[in-house]
Each structure stands twice: as structure tokens, then as C-alpha cells.
Structure 1
Amino acid sequence: MDEAAFLESYDADAFDRLSVTVDLILMSVIDGAPAVLLTRRSQHPFEGAWALPGGFVGMGESLDEAAHRVLVEKAGMADAYVEQLYTFGAIDRDPRTRIISVAYFALLPADRFAAALKAMPDLALAEIAVPWKGETGGPVEVRIDDSDPLDLAFDHGDIVSLAMRRLRGKLDYSTVAFALLPERFTLRALQDVYEAILDTKLNKSAFRRRMIDRSWLEATGERETGASFRPAELYRYLAPQGDK
């Protein structure tokens, strides 16, 4: 039997079929704290609960295509860069059937969420509280405004926890923090991002010296506007050679 004959006679129903979804962790730093975009579910299971924007992968689309479709349909964004974070496949993670979820991760400046939040009333930015230090990991607490910690749908609390652990782990050796800043920013704003993610205060002089020594920054020659004190100098991210 050649391959063409084998494929023609192949019975796709001979094995159980899994369903696959993508879930989006779209994060920023808002008012000095890490935050994640959530959507309120309009149907069962977990009707009325908050969840990460997500959806099923179609038979005719790739994982990346599904992630970008969900980005538009569920999160109201068209051009954010997302990358795979992790695949979640616990047997009982979804009460409907066996569903595997591929989580996609994106860091965005706070102003990128404004239009989506205005246009889509079921979206909200939730503050992430991380009750553990370092990169050891553990559950996080997610709140909208001053609510009690939310019980997110499915295993989305675990997904957000892993995203925070991964973010903390990458912060010291990568340039990931610059994705949370506008094109031009002050060193104070950069330090605010680091402190929000790490949940710790950093020495101002040592932090600035370390950032400048790494050659990740370029002074623009401009200063911030609207400040009631001496305007701070503005910098831009200078991508290291080899970065894409």
C-alpha cells in the first residue's frame, strides 16, 4: 500500500480527538502595579466569571492565526505582538471535554488598552498582586478595582501566575520591560516598571547606572512636558545588535 492509498483509507475517528484553544495574557503596568486584560464570560461554563480572552482553534487555521483572530475578536486589538508562553493540558481543566489551551503572552504600554476598554464593555483591566518574592512561583491574586480576589474561570489563574513568574525571570537578563513603555520614557518610568513587576523598591542610582551601562538606552535630547518640577530627560529603547 502506498501513502496515497493509506491516507485515503485512514480512519480519523479511530482515535479520540482533542479540542484546542488559545488564551491571551495581555499585560501592562497600571498605576504602579502589573495588570492583565480580562473578559467576562457570557455563557456556560463559568457564565459571568472573569477569564482571559480566548477561543477555539479552527480546523483551517494555525495556532498563531487563531491567537491573532482572538486578539481582534475578544480583545479589540489588531496589531499587538504575541508569542507562545506555555501549553496547558490538565485532563480536567475544562468541564466540557478534553481541551488543551496554548497560552499566548504580550506586554503592552498602558495606553494600548484604552480603545478596547471603551469599545468593549465586557473587558476590564485587573490588578495582579504577587504574594511571593523572586521567581519561585505560586498563585497570584487578581482584582478589579477594590474587589475581593477573583476566582478566574478554568485554570486561568494558573496561567496568569505562570506569566508573572516567567516575566520576573526574564526581567534581569532581557529587555522585556521596554515593551511596557511608550516610545519615549523617563528613567523614573522605567524604574517604576521594574519595581511593579518585582514588587520591591530599587536603589535609584544603582538602577540607573545598571541600565545605562547595558547600552539599552539612548538619550533623545528631549525632556518630558507637563511636569510641575524640573522636567526629566526622555530616553528611547536602543535594541542590541542581533535583536529583531
Structure 2
Amino acid sequence: MDVRLASGVRVHAVLAPVSTGGTAVSVRIPRVHAADLDDLGRLGAIDLAQRAWLEQMVHGRKNVLITGGTGTGKTTMLAALLAHVPPHERIVTIEDVAELRPRHPHHVSLEARQSNLEGVGAISVARLVRESLRMRPDRLIVGECRGEEIRELLTALNTGHDGGAGTLHASGLADVPARLEALGALAGMDPPALARQAVSAFAYVLHLVRDPGGLRRLTQVGVLRRDGEHLGIEEVRPW
């Protein structure tokens, strides 16, 4: 069972006999107040130079992909960036399970829907990305890229929807190209096509880590590039 309560709390439960040791419950409690870049600075996630550059990037409407492992703060970083979007702009966020609550007055949240017991009624993230383009978003955000929605996001970002963003699970910056190619394959995109679209779509890749002490930090920034027929990445220091 995987549900989101009205309060925003996510509950995931696995019952016996699937969970051989008995019922296992995981609870994920959202932040009451979404962070902004100043909050991340106070927490030690970014330094002053990074903070200034990140805000400049948001105001410059650069498309960005935020990567990292589980629990590294990808959603928190994304919400913090969105808090600095000008208030007159419309942000449309699309997620498998709605978690993003940016500190912004003009935010529309769309959430995917699973099929019912009869196997009908599903609404995928990929479909929501397509539908969102009719909502005239100033910023199009996909909370987490897991499958075929990568094709829809790349298409949108390459057709004039600047200032967009997405997140992706990746263990390290060097792993990002392979992860994108794997998602592209699920969407029927071969490596050369994926490389062309991704290089054009994303200005920067922000990679986050969680250190042994639990501190979540922005540690690397990369720029996607073509490496023959495949996708590559180069680490940069733009601040």
C-alpha cells in the first residue's frame, strides 16, 4: 500500500506474508514550510557563491536536472529553486506522488493516478506532461523522471518551455548519462536521439549527496555533452 494523506504525509506499508518479518511501515512527513535558497545556505547545503549562482540561474530561466541518491534532498533543492521564480509566473508541477510545495503564489500541482482494481483509469506522468502544455505553464516541472515521461519532458523543454526542471536518481554525476539513456530506452529513444535532445534541453545538472553525518549538499555541477553517439557529461564550476 502506498498512499498520501490529506496532510501530505506519505505512508507505505507492506504486510505479511510479503514482508516475512511482519508488517513494515514507512512514513514520510513533508516540510511544513518549503525551504528557499537562504534556508539551504543556513543548513550548509550550499555556500554563498552557489546561492548567488543558483538564483541567477533561476532568473535566467535555465533548464536544470537535479540528481542524487535517495534522501539527498532533490525535492528540497527543487522547491528552494522554485521559491525564487518571479511571483507572476505560473509553475506547473507533475509528480507520481505530489510532494512539491514551493513557496510560490502561482503553483499548480498535478498528480499521476494508478489504475483501479479493474486495471483502468490510470493517468501517467507522461500523459500529464502532455496535458500540462495546454495549461500555458511558465515553468514546467517533473518531480521525478522514472520512465517514458523523459521523452515528453525533453520535447517540452526543447520547444520553448524555458526555466523547467526535473529530478533523477543517480549515484554520481558520472552515472547521469547512463541513467538518462536507460530511461530513454524505456521511451523508445535510441542513444543518439536521447543525447541530442538532452544536451539541448538541460543547461545544467546539479548533483547532491548526503554525507555520513546526514548533511545534504550540492557537491557537483555538470553540463551534458555528446560523446560520439552517446551522452556524456563534464563537471563545471559556474559560480
Same fold (TM over 0.5): no
**Which structure has the larger Rg?**
1
Give TM-score, length-normalised by structure 2: 0.29
Give TM-score, length-normalised by structure 1: 0.29
